[in-house]
C-alpha cells in the first residue's frame, strides 16, 4: 500500500466506495487521516462500515464545515453534464476535490529513496483506444527483462494498493480521462498518449474538453519523456506544444499510419514493420507481422508506443522484440480464443465504439462479424472503410433490427442473441475466415459490461468446438 502523505489528523471524505474509493480510504487511514465514507449504494456503505470506516451522508448541508478534502471516484461527475450534489457541496464550501491518482502522485516518493542507485519511475499511459494493451505490453516487456514492475490504475490494481517500489522499480499506470481530469497532482516520469477519438463527450462537454482532460497529463505533469501518437490532429498539436524544436528528443513521436522523418526521436510501423529513428538514423526495427498477440495496425501503434517507453528505460531492441513474441494479448481485445478447420475466432468485445471496431475490422480479412448492442452517438457511417473485409454481419442486441439497417451494403442477419449469432456465424464460416466479435456498441442492453459480453462469446464458441 502507498500511504497517503500530508493528511495526518485531517478529516477526509471519500465519495464512491468501489475499487478506487475503498483503496483510497485505506491509504488515507494508513496515512493518519480520519476517513468519512459515502456511497449511494447501501451494500457499498455496509462493506466500508465493516472495515471500520465512518459512514457519513455527504449530501447534507454543513457536512463539509470540518472536512479538509474530498476524494472522488472516477465514475462520479464533478463538472459535466452536471456536478454530483456532494461535489457541488464541497466546492461551495471551498473544500479541495481530488482523486486517488492525485493522492498517489503526491505520496509516491518515499523515505529511503536516497539510498537507491536508481529512483523508481512512473510510466503513465492515456488515450482513447489502446491504452490498456499498451500499458499491459510495457509491463510484460519490463517483467520479461527482469525489472521490478507493477501495473495499476485503470487496469490491474488500484494505484494506492501497489507495493512501495524498490530500487529501480517501475510503476505502469493506465489512466482514463476521468482520472487525469481531476487529479491535483500528475507527475509521471514518462507519459504516453496513444490517440484520440470521440468518447465520453457528455462527461467532458465535447471533444475539446475530452482532449483537455488527456492533455493535463503532459501539460501539468511535466514528464521527462512524452511519447505521442501523431496519427490524429490532437496528437500532432500536443507533440508540437511539448517540443522546443525539431530535434527535441524528449518528445517521441509514434505512428502506425506513415513513416516519420526529421532529426528527432520517432517510432513508426509500416506494413507490419516497426522502425525506430533517432537523429535521422535507424536505431532499431521489429517485424510485427507474426506476433499473434498484436494483430492489426491498431496493435502496431500500441507496440510502437510500448517500444518507445521501454527504450527510454534503456532496454535493447532485441530484448523488447523477444518479449513482444511472448505477449498473449489482453482478454476481450483482439483475443484469439480458438482456431479450428482454418477458421479463427477472435473476441474484441472491448470494441465498444465505432473507431475501435473499425480497427478490428481492418486487422482481419474475410470476417464473419458479430456486432450490435447499445449504439453510441454518431451512427455507424465511419465503419464503411472496413466493410470490404466483412463477408457477413450477425447483429445482436435488443435493437438489432435498427442496428442492421445502418450496415448499408453489407449482408446482415438479425440474430438478437449471442447464442444465435455465434451458431449462425460458425455454420457459414469457411476455411481462411475469422469469426470476429467487435460490437461497435456498448453492452448494457444485454450485459453488465463488455467483459460479460466477451465471456458469453467465448462460452458460445467453445461449447460448439
| Domain-terminating residue out of 325, 354, 372 | 325
The dihedrals phi and psi of 256, each to the nearest 5 degrees, come to: -115, 20
Is the domain of 88 the same as that of 51? yes
Note whether residue 3 is domain-resident.
Answer: no
pLDDT at residue 11 in the model: 98
Note whether residue 114 is domain-resident.
Answer: yes
CB 273: neighbour CB atoms within 10 A? 13
Binding-site positions for ATP: 127-133
Is the domain of 407 the same as that of 346? yes
Residue from 300, 291, 292 nearest 270 by CA: 300
- What stretches of 92-202 adopt beta strand conformation (E)? 97-98, 121-126, 149-153, 170-174, 190-193
Is the domain of 184 the same as that of 301? yes
Domain range for 242: 103-325
Note whether residue 448 is domain-resident.
Answer: yes
Residues 6+ apart with CB under 8 A from 357: 348, 351, 371, 383, 386, 438, 439, 440
- Tell me how far apart the alpha carbons of residues 227 and 231 are, in angstroms, rounded to a whole number: 13
Is the domain of 300 the same as that of 395? no
| Domain-terminating residue out of 59, 77, 98 | 98
Is the domain of 360 the same as that of 236? no
Give percent of the chain above pLDDT 70.
100
Is the domain of 221 the same as that of 135? yes
Number of domain units in the chain? 3
Is the domain of 82 the same as that of 231? no
Query: What is the pLDDT confidence band of residue 378, given thresholds at 50, 70 and 90?
Result: confident
| Mean model confidence pLDDT for the chain | 94
- pLDDT tens for each residue of 353-365: 898 899 899 989 9
Is the domain of 184 the same as that of 242? yes
- Tell me how far apart the alpha carbons of residues 227 and 9 are, in angstroms, rounded to a whole number: 40
pLDDT for 155 beyond 90: no
Is the domain of 216 the same as that of 293? yes
Is the domain of 195 the same as that of 217? yes
> C-alpha grid cell for residue 339?
482456431
Here the CATH number for the domain that contains residue 357 is 3.90.190.20
Binding-site positions: 127-133
Is the domain of 187 the same as that of 149? yes
Amino acid at each position: 500500500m502507498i500511504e497517503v502523505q500530508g493528511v495526518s489528523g485531517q478529516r477526509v471524505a471519500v465519495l464512491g466506495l468501489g475499487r478506487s474509493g475503498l483503496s483510497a480510504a485505506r491509504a488515507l487511514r494508513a496515512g493518519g487521516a480520519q476517513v468519512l465514507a459515502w456511497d449511494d449504494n447501501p451494500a457499498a456503505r455496509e462493506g466500508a462500515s465493516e472495515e471500520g470506516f465512518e459512514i457519513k451522508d455527504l449530501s447534507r448541508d454543513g457536512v463539509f464545515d470540518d472536512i479538509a478534502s474530498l476524494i472522488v471516484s472516477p465514475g462520479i461527475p464533478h463538472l459535466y453534464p452536471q456536478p454530483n450534489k456532494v461535489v457541488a457541496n464541497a466546492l461551495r464550501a471551498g473544500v479541495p476535490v481530488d482523486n486517488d491518482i492525485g493522492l498517489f502522485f503526491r505520496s509516491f516518493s518515499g523515505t529511503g529513496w536516497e539510498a537507491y542507485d536508481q529512483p523508481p519511475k512512473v510510466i503513465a499511459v492515456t488515450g482513447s483506444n489502446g491504452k490498456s494493451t499498451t500499458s499491459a505490453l510495457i509491463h510484460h516487456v519490463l517483467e520479461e527483462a527482469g525489472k521490478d514492475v507493477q501495473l495499476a490504475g485503470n487496469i490491474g490494481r488500484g494505484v494506492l494498493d501497489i507495493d512501495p517500489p524498490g530500487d529501480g522499480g517501475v510503476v505502469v499506470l493506465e489512466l482514463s480521462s476521468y482520472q487525469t481530469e481531476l487529479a491535483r497532482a500528475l507527475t509521471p516520469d514518462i507519459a504516453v498518449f496513444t490517440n484520440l477519438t470521440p468518447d465520453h463527450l457528455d462527461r467532458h462537454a465535447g471533444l475539446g474538453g475530452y482532449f483537455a482532460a488527456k492533455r493535463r497529463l503532459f501539460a501539468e505533469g511535466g514528464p521527462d519523456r512524452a511519447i505521442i501518437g501523431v496519427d490524429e490532429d490532437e496528437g500532432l498539436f500536443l507533440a508540437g506544444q511539448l517540443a522546443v524544436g525539431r530535434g527535441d528528443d524528449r518528445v517521441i513521436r509514434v505512428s502506425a499510419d506513415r513513416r516519420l522523418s526529421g532529426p528527432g526521436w520517432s517510432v513508426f510501423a509500416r506494413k507490419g514493420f516497426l522502425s525506430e529513428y533517432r537523429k535521422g538514423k535507424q536505431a532499431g526495427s521489429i517485424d510485427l507481422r507474426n506476433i499473434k498477440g498484436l494483430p492489426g495496425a491498431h496493435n502496431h501503434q500500441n507496440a510502437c508506443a510500448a517500444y518507445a517507453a521501454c527504450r527510454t528505460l534503456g532496454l535493447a531492441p532485441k530484448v523488447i522484440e523477444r518479449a513482444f513474441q511472448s505477449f498473449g494479448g489482453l482478454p476481450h481485445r483482439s483475443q484469439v480464443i480458438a482456431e479450428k478447420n482454418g477458421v479463427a475466432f477472435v473476441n474484441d468485445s472491448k470494441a465498444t465504439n465505432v473507431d475501435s471496431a473499425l480497427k478490428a475490422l481492418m486487422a482481419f480479412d474475410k470476417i464473419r462479424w458479430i456486432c450490435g448492442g447499445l449504439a453510441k452517438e454518431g451512427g455507424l457511417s465511419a465503419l464503411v472503410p472496413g466493410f470490404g473485409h466483412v463477408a457477413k454481419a450477425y447483429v445482436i442486441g435488443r435493437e438489432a433490427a435498427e442496428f442492421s439497417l445502418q450496415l448499408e451494403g453489407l449482408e446482415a442477419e438479425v440474430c438478437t442473441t449471442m447464442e444465435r449469432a455465434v451458431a449462425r456465424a460458425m455454420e457459414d464460416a469457411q476455411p481462411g475466415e475469422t469469426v470476429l466479435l467487435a460490437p461497435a456498441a456498448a453492452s448494457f442492453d444485454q450485459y453488465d459490461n463488455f467483459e460479460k459480453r466477451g465471456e458469453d462469446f467465448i462460452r458460445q464458441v467453445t461449447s460448439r468446438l
